[in-house]
Amino acid sequence: MALLADMTRRGLVTSLLAAAALPPLRPAVAAGSAAARVALYPPVQYLEPVYELKLSLDALAAIAPEPTRWPALKKRLDAFFGGGVLSECNYYAGLALQYTSQIKYDDLPVFVDADRKSRQAAMEDCLGSMGELREALGAPAPVANQVTSAVAAAQKGIASWLALVPQEDVAAAERLFVAVRRADVDRNGKLSDEEAKALASDDRAAWAARVALVGD
């Protein structure tokens, strides 16, 4: 389950012919909103695994101020970034990319491209800051404010990514996670057939789709 538990719009052609053929230009969107019109967002099974990264970072932030926890945290981050192409880092980057690839747009290609790049940049900021946290913890004498600042930057990155997702979808991912955690009586991170019966039918179907997509 969880780890521990651009783009401004590029200019369009300005010829009268192009202006007549294209919709009116819209002002640059505010930070935290989609950079393109979206016709349909992916179902919750594509979002919930990425949402778990946010929960992991919340857990990291809770222990980051405690130097006695740093050796274990460094070891966990080494595992997160280890494994080459099969690393957890690449896993979450792939999940974010998969989510974006499932979005159905209703906009011009230039705006769609900008939106996709915004989402990718936010996840890259998040994972890059986690890498900086690993480096800070690996110093001979880790500096507390560097550790906490790196965690905060990673949280900011995932928050920026989630801000580009409908908040009702984020809430749905949270509800699903909570429901599954509650049903997971033996706390092994998986739901047996018997445990799954405790879920509401909609949650059971969503979790089954999530497991089919990325596993337990």
Least confident range of 29-33, 112-116, 117-121, 163-167 = 29-33
Domain boundaries, the chain: 36-164
Q: CATH number for 36-164: choose from 1.10.600, 2.60.40, 1.20.120, 2.40.50.
A: 1.20.120
Q: Looking at the chain, how many residues does it have?
A: 216
Give the model's pLDDT for residue 5. 41
Beta bridge pairs of residue 74: none
179-197 burial, b at 16+ Cβ within 10 Å, e below that, comes to: bbeebbeeeeeebeeebbe
Residue type, 129: S
When pLDDT is averaged across residues 37-64 and rounded to a whole number, the result is 96
